[in-house]
Amino acid sequence: MTTAPSKVGLGGGCHWCTEGVFTSLIGITNVNQGWIASNGKHSSLSEAIEVYFDPAVISLSDLIEIHLHTHASTSDHSMRGKYRSAIYTFDDIQFKQALHILNVLRADFDKAVITQVYAFKSFKPNKVELTDYFYSDHNRPFCQTYIQPKLRLLIARFNRHVDQHKMAEIGLKVSNNYPN
């Protein structure tokens, strides 16, 4: 029996970085890169991704934990309008789950986590030629400087979730010697 894919929206930093991180995980069936808006004062579009995942392979809790550790989730910098630190949910049940998970994971950080949970309202995709940014050319200077360090963190901290074949394609080795 197969599980229907679930989806969640994630924003926090550059959508090229976030896309690169989440397309590197097993259990991810699709990632759409672009901008997401919520309601009210968060109705402006902010760089983010839609992540489609198989909850039988990777949980919402794992996705949120990875998200918090792979972007500046404790930094309330001046660009938060463009790079909102957020988890966008698609129904009330997922909203409550994400809030609970976020509250539990706050204990992992020395500084206050600024990430918020919002209801998903709309998505605007990026231009096709700018999607799959990392894996279409991982040797770009931007990819080397900003995305590869996040992938090394993934390997070091969340290796059981990392797609070893994708890492091999770009010359990064996933070792079972890393803690999970």
Other C-beta atoms closer than 10 Å to the C-beta of 104 total 12
Number of domains in the chain: 1
Radius of gyration from C-alpha coordinates of the chain: 15
Range of 11's domain?
6-169
Kindly report the CATH number assigned to the domain that includes residue 51. Answer: 3.30.1060.10
* Within-domain flag for 132: yes
In this structure, are residues 106 and 85 in contact, taking their beta carbons and an 8 Å threshold? no
* Within-domain flag for 176: no
* Within-domain flag for 180: no
- Is 135 in a helix, a strand, or coil? helix
- Give this prediction's pTM: 0.92
* Within-domain flag for 12: yes
What are 148-166's pLDDT values in tens digits?
A: 999 999 999 999 999 999 9
What are 24-62's pLDDT values in tens digits?
A: 999 999 999 999 999 999 999 999 999 999 999 999 999
